[in-house]
A and B are shown apart, each in its own frame.
Chain A
């Protein structure tokens, strides 16, 4: 979805390096999510944010941190990258107006390789 953008699209880094993945959205949504995708495992939630002051851990938050700089921006950081963080990372957004039944819209993904 062009309304949700992620940068970079591809990144190769070395073990121990700090990297940041960025997500921006123009949909005006309050909720933002970071997932990672691994083959055969589907997508798993890393962190989520309901607004700028509300950030929560997902099911696999260890080794990651996030920052919600504005309603439209949600960044994911790997403080010290390790090879098993090699994955495809997706940002997603959703609105709150459907009584909790809203659809999540995904960015194009960032493919990360940690050597």
Chain B
């Protein structure tokens, strides 16, 4: 069965420092991976996705993610964090076996302090 794991419930970063939000996956076949962000009282917003090709995927708001097949990871990164990046981040993998649903990790709360 497809699954994703986000090993950190919370990540704390100082503004201006680089940030990493971790995600590992377990799939049979090729993984199709996504990152979404949820701001307080808002729905999920799509950040980026990996399907194939370049292992470094660039997305919205200056975020990028690095796909590493050998480590089965898809970590979200940003070179310089902003206070406004504080939100809940979800990694997800596409499950082709059930209508193309997304299987989500449990989420990681990112807190960026000034």
Contact = CB atoms under 8 A, between A and B. Distances in A.
A15 interface: no
B43 A100 contact: no
Contacts of A105: 46
Interface residues of B, number: 25
Interface string A43-87: 111001010000010110000000000000000000000000000
Interface string B71-114: 00000000000000000001010101011111011110000000
B43 A48 contact: no
A106 B100 CA distance: 15
10 contacts: A40-B9, A42-B90, A42-B105, A45-B101, A48-B99, A56-B99, A59-B98, A100-B100, A106-B36, A106-B45
B51 interface: yes
Interface of A: 1, 4, 31, 33, 40-45, 48, 50, 56, 58-59, 90, 92, 94, 100-109
B56 to A, nearest CB: 18
A31 B100 contact: yes
B99 A104 contact: no
Interface string B48-62: 010100000000000
Contacts of A104: 46, 102
